[in-house]
Amino acid sequence: MDIEKILEYQKLDFVLYKANKDFANSEENKRAQMYRKLRNDLAESLIRLDKEAGENFNDIDKAITSYENFVKKLKATNLSAPKTIEQADKNEETINALISELNAIQKDIQKCFARLQEIDTKDAKEVKQKIGKVLSELKNAEIIRNDKRNEIISSISQEGAALNKMQSELAPEDLKIYNKVKSSVNRMPYIVEYRDGNCLGCGIEIKSEVDAKLQKSGDTAECPHCRRIVYKK
Ligand SMILES: [Zn+2]
């Protein structure tokens, strides 16, 4: 591995890496992310309300079926003129039971309609109003975020161009190793010095594992702890 060249490449890459981090942590980016989350949460609320409305319609269907069954039962009920006090009491009992059954069905239907009306005129309306506000805030936030992004990209344009140029100059094998470490290690640097038996990336002593591979200047090995590439100066 051409250590000098790959370190030069890493230095350029670090500028881009830092710029990426700066952008991710910028107020402009965070603000846009916050509005995106708000928009998604509100959209979910609308879906929930829609689902609830669907359930209410189902309950109304059920109540209508109950009412139809009630009518059938009513037709089949025989309330002949009472001849005794016991019969009169029994008739009254039957009528009371029918009335309370009808009341319960009516109550169910009324409850569903009231909730449907509330969803339509209050809850969904409120959520839609909020969505309207959030969307317009989000639009502004996205424009500001994009400006910030462009500003950062143009501030690193020299390094970006130099990095691209170096990609064709580096030995393909070296670049491949670099990119492999880059994809598996979260934090830069990826290529670090091996000094006094330690990996300078994670700081852990790795002498017993890698010392045999790192005998002369320019030798490389993989740190068994952090998976960075260590090199001997
Ligand atoms: Zn390490």
Q: Tokens 């130099």 map to which residue?
A: 162
Distance (angstroms) between ligand 1 centre and the Cα of 215 equals 18
Distance (angstroms) between ligand 1 centre and the Cα of 192 equals 8
- Residue 80: predicted pLDDT: 83
List, edge to edge, every strand of the sheet that includes 198-199: 198-199, 191-195, 229-231, 220-222
- By the 8 A CB rule, do 170 and 9 touch? yes
In a 10 Å sphere around its CB, with 0-12 CB exposed, 13-18 middle and 19+ buried, how is residue 191 labelled?
buried
How much is the pTM?
0.73
Helix crossing, 27-76 with 3-25: angle to 10°?
50
- Residue 200: predicted pLDDT: 97
As a whole number of angstroms, the distance between CA 31 and CA 138 comes to 8
- By the 8 A CB rule, do 181 and 229 touch? yes
Distance (angstroms) between ligand 1 centre and the Cα of 164 equals 27
Q: Are strands 191-195 and 229-231 parallel, antiparallel or unpaired?
A: parallel
Distance (angstroms) between ligand 1 centre and the Cα of 186 equals 12
As a whole number of angstroms, the distance between CA 221 and CA 213 comes to 7
Q: What is the pLDDT along the chain (233 residues), one digit of tens a residue?
A: 999 999 999 999 999 999 999 999 999 999 999 999 999 999 999 999 999 999 999 999 999 999 999 999 999 988 888 889 999 999 999 999 999 999 999 999 999 999 999 999 999 999 999 999 999 999 999 999 999 999 999 999 999 999 999 999 999 999 999 999 999 999 999 999 999 999 999 999 999 999 999 999 999 999 999 999 999 99
Distance (angstroms) between ligand 1 centre and the Cα of 209 equals 11
- Residue 79: predicted pLDDT: 82
Distance (angstroms) between ligand 1 centre and the Cα of 161 equals 30
- Residue 18: predicted pLDDT: 96
As a whole number of angstroms, the distance between CA 212 and CA 123 comes to 71
SS (H, E, C) the chain: CCHHHHHHHHHHHHHHHHHHHHHHHCHHHHHHHHHHHHHHHHHHHHHHHHHHHHHHHHHHHHHHHHHHHHHHHHHHCCCCCCCCHHHHHHHHHHHHHHHHHHHHHHHHHHHHHHHHHHHHHHHHHHHHHHHHHHHHHHHHHHHHHHHHHHHHHHHCHHHHHHHHHHHHHCCHHHHHHHHHHHHHCCCCCCEEEEECCEECCCCCECHHHHHHHCCCCCCEEECCCCCCEEECC
